Amino acid sequence: MAKKATKKTKDKQRDLPVPVEKREFTPAEQEVVAKYKRRADKVSPPKFEEDNHDNNKIWIKAENAKDGDLLRLAKMTEMTGTVDPDLQSKIFTQVAGSPSKNSASQVSATAALMHGINPQNELEGMLVAQMINAHNNATKLARFAGTSKTMEQLKIYSNMAVKFMNAFTRQLDALQKLRGQAGKQTVRVEHVTVESGGQAIVGHVEGGGGGSKK
């Protein structure tokens, strides 16, 4: 019996997977991980959780800090662009929808998206709400188009999806203009021209921002 048990033990040991030695990160992977750590070190967006004692209502998760309420308001400001609590709630609800119809993870994902765009004032906050809704509608209609059973359905859903995509692009342009990021162009011309009785232009000419450099 002892010999049989020993044989079974050896068979089990033989069937165990051989541990694979973990390799070091490649230079490209190190760069990606470093970039992730830099982004992860920033202030995180607020999280939401379900209250099992109150009909599973979704509430913003308390912050584990000395002044958690102040930190929560600060994070909501980063999300909505306003310091007013009532307007914060209004703008966020316009994007996240009714908390009773969405899970805590869905609401938290919306908060992370708004926090990432980081509107700087109330006007940007309203625009960001529109942008996210346009994006959500565009992707939803695109999924409907992908499951269409008739050409008529495909045409309707595709056209509506494209309209929301175009709206999103215009909203993005508007946000960039508000932030002073639009309209910056640099024109570089490299050549050598010599004409009779004229001067030679050697090197490159850069234009942009209303001036030129020779």
For the chain, which residues make up each domain, given as ranges? 59-91+103-180
**Cα–Cα dist 96/108, whole Å:** 9
Average pLDDT across the chain, whole number: 81
Greater pLDDT, 191 or 109: 109
Q: What angle do CA 58, 62, 67 make, to 5 degrees?
A: 150
Partners of 51 in the beta sheet?
A: 57
pLDDT per residue as tens digits for the range 22-68: 889 999 999 999 999 998 888 888 888 887 666 667 778 877 778 88
**Cα–Cα dist 93/95, whole Å:** 5
Greater pLDDT, 159 or 8: 159
Length of the chain: 214
Q: What angle do CA 127, 180, 205 make, to 5 degrees?
A: 145
Find the range with the poorest average confidence among 16-20, 26-30, 126-130: 16-20
Q: Grade residue 213 by pLDDT with cuts at 50, 70 and 90.
A: very low
Query: Which helix or strand (DSSP H or E) is residue 110 part of?
Result: helix 104-117
Greater pLDDT, 211 or 121: 121
For position 212, what pLDDT does the model report? 46
Greater pLDDT, 17 or 205: 17
For position 200, what pLDDT does the model report? 47
**Cα–Cα dist 24/9, whole Å:** 34
Given a cut of 80, whether residue 140 has pLDDT beyond it is yes
Q: Are strands 57-60 and 48-51 parallel, antiparallel or unpaired?
A: antiparallel
- Look at residue 13 and give its three-state secondary structure: helix
Burial of 109: CB neighbours in 10 Å, binned 0-12, 13-18, 19+:
middle
Q: Tell me the average pLDDT across 117-122.
A: 95
**Cα–Cα dist 42/58, whole Å:** 25
